[in-house]
Amino acid sequence: MGAVNVPGGMLSTAAAGKRPHQWWPEGGADGLLEKGGHILPLPHPKAFPGRTPTKPVRMDLFELFPVASHSHTLLPIIVQNPERYGLSYQIEVMLHTPTNSLLGSFGDPKMVESFFQSIPFIGGFAVEINETNHFDDIVLPFPSYLERYDFIGADYLIPPCGKEDWFWQVRQPVVEPPQGMRPPHEVIMEIADRLGILGDLYRLLNHTFRLKEPHALEPGLRYPVTEVIDRMARSWFGEEQGLEWFRQHGVIRIPRDVDEAYIGPFIDARLPIYLEHFLDRGEELKKIVTQMGVEWDFSDYQPLSDWMPCPSYEAVQNGQYDFIAVHYKLPFVYGGFGNENPWINEICEQTETYSILVNEEAAKAKGIRDGEEVWLESPVCKVKVRAKLTQCIHPQVVGVGGHFGHWSAGMPIARGKGISFNSLLPTDLEHIDKISTALDHCVQVRLYK
């Protein structure tokens, strides 16, 4: 019960499919699962058998996390003193999507602000001027989903459970974007062309989106976004089902077989339980960091997992703090943006989403009433919050939903409402998981009037 792709667990991972081309989980060394299965052949680091650790050349120290899939969490930490890790350069340019990484992608925003300020040039796309865009040297307008074309398989990431059909469609604009706003695909192509790397970009796109001849993008040519989508559709579904077909018919449905919907019995690979390779990668890593003279915690490099107390647990146990703050997601707000929408903001206000959840008995012991404003203080942040008393949370825990606490003048509806959970989080190597690079998302807090 609870395992992925079996009854009782998540059944909508889209890890296997046969059409319009095949993607499937596959075994590798020793027959153990290495390739998780994805319809787009994106590069993804393998947890097994992992990579051989080396001295880092990347600013996020990816080379020191041999079984992690990413390590961007470390960027605000390492950029403060890259020489400490043998790095002799600084990040000079950053380009970003319309996401709000300042509030949603890292911990302590003060460190992230310092990180952004250290980069000489930042360019970013924007649907709204959020907090991250305040650090941009150039802001590029990004059309909303009602103003742009996209080739989407709405179900290939999180399809419906069971044997429902696969379906694919082309997102089409229902209104024209404002004058001067260009499709982001074409902006990126122009930047790549000016940099002299357009041919490399096309090779990457042809591989990632499985563009086969005669539909592959050709070096030296520039394509409007509609032609790129037309080529993708024809390459995937045949000559008769290009962009114009989708304009006329909307959606293409493909039957889903039993082994695509319930892939567990049909995977020809073993899943490791005893993680012996953790021992090997840990010993290799120890040699590297010893040569570098860097202190490192190797306690997680063991073949069987066990429980280890995090700093917040110990801080509450020894009486330094009263509560552990935890984050929870909401079905109507996504990441560090969303509540600028007036309807979403109305839901947040009517459901008291901007308040934090506090156990009723624990709050009464501190003289805190329902709806009262109080101070919430972590080791790195002190912020005024409104308390929502409930019996549905542990007496030593406070719950913080969403990623609010916006201060950007470009978000007047969301501005000043709720708090950003990430602002409470200490961001240093001691709070980074040395296996996955995940930031510790439990944090000790005090609550007082």
Answer yes or no: are the C-beta atoms of 132 and 422 closer than 8 Å. no
Please give the pLDDT value at position 64: 97
pTM, rounded to two decimals: 0.90
Q: What CATH number does residue 420 fall under?
A: 2.40.40.20
Using DSSP's 3-state secondary structure scheme, residue 363 falls into helix
Answer yes or no: are the C-beta atoms of 181 and 172 closer than 8 Å. no
Please give the pLDDT value at position 42: 73
Domain span holding position 396:
311-448
Residue 114 CA to residue 446 CA, distance in Å, equals 26
Q: Beta-carbon neighbour count of residue 282 at 10 Å?
A: 22
Give domain status of residue 254, yes or no.
no
Give domain status of residue 413, yes or no.
yes
Give domain status of residue 369, yes or no.
yes
Give domain status of residue 442, yes or no.
yes
* Structural domains counted in the chain: 1
Give domain status of residue 401, yes or no.
yes
* Percent over 90 (pLDDT), the chain: 73
Sign of the alpha-carbon torsion through 94, 100, 102, 106: negative
Give domain status of residue 390, yes or no.
yes
Show pLDDT as tens, one digit a residue, over the chain (449 residues): 456 666 666 665 677 888 888 888 888 888 888 877 777 777 777 778 899 999 999 999 999 999 998 889 999 999 999 999 999 999 999 999 998 999 988 999 999 999 999 999 999 999 999 999 999 999 999 999 999 999 875 445 666 677 888 888 999 999 999 998 999 999 999 999 999 999 999 999 999 899 999 999 999 899 999 999 999 999 999 999 999 999 999 999 989 898 888 888 888 888 888 999 999 999 999 999 999 999 999 999 999 988 989 999 999 999 999 999 999 989 898 776 778 999 999 999 999 999 999 999 999 999 999 999 999 999 999 999 999 999 999 999 999 998 899 999 999 999 999 999 999 999 999 999 999 999 999 999 999 99
Supply 107's token pair.
């911990």
Give domain status of residue 78, yes or no.
no
Residue 437 CA to residue 449 CA, distance in Å, equals 35
pLDDT 10s digits, 337-383: 778 999 999 999 999 999 999 999 999 999 999 999 999 999 999 99
Give domain status of residue 331, yes or no.
yes
Please give the pLDDT value at position 1: 47
